[in-house]
Each structure stands twice: as structure tokens, then as C-alpha cells.
């Protein structure tokens, strides 16, 4: 294996993805404000929405991931549930993603007029 291949493989295990899952109450105006503030703080820290209550962030190293995990822990709301998962880039790359496809009827081709 070449050095480039070795380094790529090493980086796949060193680089990390952080996933933050949350289910926060939103019944009152105050709860909605707290949930919104939490989401905005995640975005400010470089997280992107993966699904409505799942945000993720790429980190170049475990040490960098630990910094961002500590930041998320400092942001935790008093109510609700929050989970933090960190996986290697290699593990993240093995995720299978499926997007639902709404069945659409095929359009009938318009009638082509022929000119003689």
C-alpha cells in the first residue's frame, strides 16, 4: 500500500462525525424559544441539519470532535432529550441513506405533428 493510501485510511479513522439527536418540548412559547436557540447554537458551531432533529458536523480529528462535543454539552436545555454520537469518517461513510420517492404518473407524450 502506498503512503497516500495509508494516510487516506488513517484519516478515515481519525476524522470524526458528530451527530446530535434531540427531542425538545415545544408546547409553550418559552419552550419553542429554547429549542430554537439550541438549534441556532448548533448551526453557529458548524453543525448542519441532517433531519429535523438531527444535526451533524465533520471534525478533522478526535481532539477537534471533543471540543465541539463539550460545546454541545454546555448548550444542553433543561428539558427534553439530547443524544450525542461520534463516529469515524469511515463508519459514517458506510451509512446507507434512502430518500423516499413519491410515485408520479408518467406524462403522456404530446402528439407530434408531421409536416409533409
Question: In the predicted model, is pLDDT for residue 82 greater than 90?
Answer: yes
CA 105 to mean position of chain CA atoms: 32
What are the structural domain ranges in the chain?
3-93
Question: In the predicted model, is pLDDT for residue 3 greater than 60?
Answer: no
Name the average pLDDT for the chain.
85
Global confidence as pTM: 0.76
Do the beta carbons of residue 19 and residue 55 sit within 8 Å? yes
CATH topology of domain 3-93: Alpha-Beta Plaits (3.30.70)
Residue that wins the pLDDT comparison between 96 and 77: 77
What is the share, in percent, of the chain residues with pLDDT greater than 70?
A: 77
Burial (Cβ within 10 Å: 0-12, 13-18, ≥19) of residue 83:
exposed
pLDDT in tens, 36-53: 999 999 999 999 999 999
> What whole-number distance in Å separates Cα of residue 31 and Cα of residue 115?
68
Amino acid at each position: 500500500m502506498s503512503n497516500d493510501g495509508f494516510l487516506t485510511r488513517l484519516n478515515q479513522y481519525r476524522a470524526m462525525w458528530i451527530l446530535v439527536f434531540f427531542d425538545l418540548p415545544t408546547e409553550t412559547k418559552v419552550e419553542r424559544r429554547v429549542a430554537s436557540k439550541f438549534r441556532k447554537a448548533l448551526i453557529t458551531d458548524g453543525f448542519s441539519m441532517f433531519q429535523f432533529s438531527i444535526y451533524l458536523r465533520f471534525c478533522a480529528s478526535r481532539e477537534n470532535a471533543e471540543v465541539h462535543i463539550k460545546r454541545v454539552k454546555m448548550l444542553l436545555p433543561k428539558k427534553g432529550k439530547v443524544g450525542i454520537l461520534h463516529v469515524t469518517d469511515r463508519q459514517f461513510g458506510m451509512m446507507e441513506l434512502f430518500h423516499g420517492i413519491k410515485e408520479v404518473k408518467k406524462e403522456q407524450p404530446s402528439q407530434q405533428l408531421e409536416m409533409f
